[in-house]
Chain A
């Protein structure tokens, strides 16, 4: 089957899908993708979203060489969908589905049973699958997928026809301070002190110890489920980002509750202000354990947290630009003395362990008078710190990290990065949502040339199968091992650097296992594959054309072909 034929089948059902979705939208008056408009949007809220109607979608192009497999000519397009007729005629009597060999363009008039009529042009010019798809669908798919995860059909339809800015505003507006499904119920169970533990019966001790592994697994599965299901895909995607920058891990924290609470804290802050976020980070019990704040005492400083705070969390190893100097580390460590945990692993500031001497950092002197925690003062200094180039160091660092995550490799000296960093620190006053909005509508982000040039992480690989097809695994707990086997053990990054990412995801082992696991996954979920989406599988699953055009004639075969293709690893 050649490319033109491949495109054909895609496009025909796109038409059917448009009709279905348009009807759905008309019926429920907006939404799609789950959830209505959400709290937590940017100040003032997003502008009214203009939803597409059937009538507004015109100029759909179809390359037609083969029979449409489903949904054409009066057949119901999908359960709950609408039937439509070609050329307004009676079922089976309209113009032929297949106008035959490539020839002149023909126009078909569609009349969905719900919604207005619209026109479809049969365009015989062979082209690749994406350029021949309705541009509104293609653009919407790419906007959502590149910013978060590939959208499901309903999610896609909810965004079709919107501008990039509107789509991103919609996504950013959905980023909430809490997840759409509650964290595991045990998140606030008290971590026992040694005394409390010692007082337990032997059986209770065993139960207490044995809770750890199942809870880790439960949380990993919980998060994977959110990424597949949540109506806030950008929020989950951002959580992956922040979890990879401000790292901790189950492995490094004895008690699973500590790690899950850190997750909750990051989520509460990732849509807020970086200043608040960083101050919360310094008090996070997981961080205090992971980077040894709890052993950082007056007279016996532990510099681990101070070093990583500047090197990996806020300023970067950019000493050549004057971000910070090695000599700053002991002073910063001194500021965090006394950041301890109580016997139940809750944060507590212990004045007796704190060094209250007068602090001078980057030319700013403060008598540590107890008016605020010295660590908060450090965060304020970090956010005020200027590079030698006159840019706020922390803004440059965070923007560079985000840019690499969402757009691709870039130097922190890139003028575009510096410009965005200036906006972040000066215009947005370190508010994060406007930064996300600006980044995800940036010309570098929307540039079609970057599509499909970045490697999917293992999480994106699996989520990129279930989410766009609108299906879920039977048991999420049975899926997380695939992630760890592919070197992305969720909530257990290998070290404080997080996951290396990018091309480093792919070595021979991972290339082989990615394909193998995806085949197993499709096989396990084969009964759930949505037949009605057969012609748009390429649009849903792939960021770019597959290396090998799929020849499958069933949904299952075609999905197999897509997930086995090297290009399935791209986003």
Chain B
């Protein structure tokens, strides 16, 4: 990070260079191969859902019958016989519905995830167990850097996000590649390297830019020697062009036969659904919610968070099915880390390691994939050892988008010495 630090994405550099020569008046456009446009043409939509703070995987997908779990979680463990939803687990064996995969005995989901049952029953919910990375130092920023950048020596100062890197060196013909909502600055991290429209929400953005006009050629010309001003003008140009597209898509929001959740994550996913249904030409979305950093009072907080997330996801799935988009949509969750096996003394859990994550969509293979890490064969801090490298999960997403194995591998471990195919996608997609 020390010497190569540059806030400019590769594309921004290319664009700036082009502009500086004034060869192009349309800095966001170039020509050549364009994978983002092909993803768009194929109608594929990726929605990344970050569970901010480190979700407690053990109380999400719960090995409730494991006595090691029970003893490690003396006051916050989930039980099948509880009548209190803060403490109740629904065993997978109780589930009906289509899944080609076995339903393990002694494992279930937190009752707060009940609204995800229709997706499960429809075979649209894939759970990947034991995701993580080696040498975790349990820090939030390290954890999220790894997930955002997709490399274990992640250097946020110099590397684009893993998704952005999958398009490194490719030209762009799209105006907006990704939309990042809520904490938009951080939320765009996976996508640095492609054109990101960051916004709090669509209506504020549209209202606040209603009188905006794109910078003129003369203004670009006058700014040619000033990279900072050029960046401001390029951003303004993107804001104006994207505004035109977004206004066309959701200026009059598409209607759904869905009673939308009014939670924060519910509003975000509603915005995403409106954008997709309205035909916004943008394939990537990033939403987030939290805080899952449940060091204390976890039973109440964890339940509330998942009630909101699962209802919002249910709403979103219903809306996408209604608009016949669901088969091409993939929703993926991620989070800095899982939490420790043993709870703490504040009815909470501290930073740990591996955790399960969810993929939802019309084209996933529903069921439980991967292996729950052992609660007894643990690392030096008595935390779980990941059973699946997080980059295989990211590679799976890349595969969904149709990105070649070469480009996936190059993005996930950019080293000349890395053997190709190291990060084989998981068999999660139909």
Residues of A within 8 A of B219 (CB): 547-548
Contact (Cβ within 8 A) A411 B228: no
Assess whether B414 is interfacial by the CB under 8 Å rule.
Answer: no
Residues of A within 8 A of B12 (CB): 503
- 1/0 contact trace for B231-253 toward A, CB 8 Å? 11101101100100000000000
Residues of A within 8 A of B3 (CB): 318, 411-413
Interface residues of A in 525-567 (CB under 8 A from B): 544, 547-548, 566-567
Alpha-carbon gap, A509 to B209, bound state (A)? 10
Which of A4-12, A36-44, A490-498 contacts the other chain? A490-498
The contact of B200 among A316, A504, A506, A513, by CB within 8 Å, is A513
Assess whether A569 is interfacial by the CB under 8 Å rule.
Answer: yes
A-B CB contacts (within 8 Å), total count: 120
Contact (Cβ within 8 A) A512 B8: no
Assess whether B427 is interfacial by the CB under 8 Å rule.
Answer: no
Which of A13-21, A102-110, A374-382, A450-458 contacts the other chain? A450-458
Given A304-B139, A566-B233, A570-B228, are A512 and B7 neighbors across the interface (CB < 8 Å)? Answer: no
Assess whether A201 is interfacial by the CB under 8 Å rule.
Answer: no
Contact (Cβ within 8 A) B156 A497: yes
Cβ of B148 to closest chain A Cβ, rounded Å: 11
Assess whether B137 is interfacial by the CB under 8 Å rule.
Answer: yes
Interface residues of A in 467-514 (CB under 8 A from B): 485, 487, 494-497, 500-504, 506-513
Assess whether A360 is interfacial by the CB under 8 Å rule.
Answer: no
- 1/0 contact trace for A50-68 toward B, CB 8 Å? 0000000000000000000
Contact (Cβ within 8 A) B199 A512: yes
Alpha-carbon gap, A304 to B188, bound state (A)? 27
Residues of A within 8 A of B239 (CB): 508, 511-512
Residues of B within 8 A of A342 (CB): none
Assess whether B68 is interfacial by the CB under 8 Å rule.
Answer: no
Interface residues of B in 211-242 (CB under 8 A from A): 215, 219, 222-223, 226-229, 231-233, 235-236, 238-239, 242
Alpha-carbon gap, A511 to B209, bound state (A)? 10
Contact (Cβ within 8 A) A547 B229: yes
Residues of B within 8 A of A487 (CB): 183, 185-186
Alpha-carbon gap, A569 to B198, bound state (A)? 18
Chain B residue at smallest Cβ distance from A290: B139
Contact (Cβ within 8 A) A452 B226: yes
Contact (Cβ within 8 A) A500 B156: yes
Given A412-B3, A566-B232, are A500 and B157 neighbors across the interface (CB < 8 Å)? Answer: yes
The contact of B2 among A400, A512, A513, A515, by CB within 8 Å, is A400
Cβ of B338 to closest chain A Cβ, rounded Å: 19
Residues of A within 8 A of B231 (CB): 455, 503, 506
Contact (Cβ within 8 A) B235 A567: no
Chain A residue at smallest Cβ distance from B199: A509
Alpha-carbon gap, A304 to B381, bound state (A)? 15
Interface residues of A in 56-103 (CB under 8 A from B): none
Alpha-carbon gap, A544 to B200, bound state (A)? 30
16 A-B pairs within 8 Å (CB atoms) are namely A487-B183, A497-B1, A503-B12, A503-B227, A506-B232, A506-B235, A508-B235, A508-B239, A509-B198, A509-B199, A510-B185, A511-B236, A512-B205, A547-B222, A547-B229, A566-B229
Assess whether B403 is interfacial by the CB under 8 Å rule.
Answer: no
Contact (Cβ within 8 A) A507 B156: no
Cβ of B17 to closest chain A Cβ, rounded Å: 14
Contact (Cβ within 8 A) B198 A507: yes
Alpha-carbon gap, A566 to B311, bound state (A)? 41
Assess whether B140 is interfacial by the CB under 8 Å rule.
Answer: yes
Assess whether A214 is interfacial by the CB under 8 Å rule.
Answer: no
Alpha-carbon gap, A500 to B3, bound state (A)? 14
Cβ of A388 to closest chain B Cβ, rounded Å: 14
The contact of B6 among A409, A510, A512, by CB within 8 Å, is A409
Alpha-carbon gap, A317 to B236, bound state (A)? 35
Chain A residue at smallest Cβ distance from B213: A548
Assess whether B196 is interfacial by the CB under 8 Å rule.
Answer: yes
Contact (Cβ within 8 A) B2 A497: no
Interface residues of B in 252-267 (CB under 8 A from A): none
The contact of A508 among B156, B199, B215, B223, by CB within 8 Å, is B199
Alpha-carbon gap, A503 to B228, bound state (A)? 6
Assess whether A193 is interfacial by the CB under 8 Å rule.
Answer: no
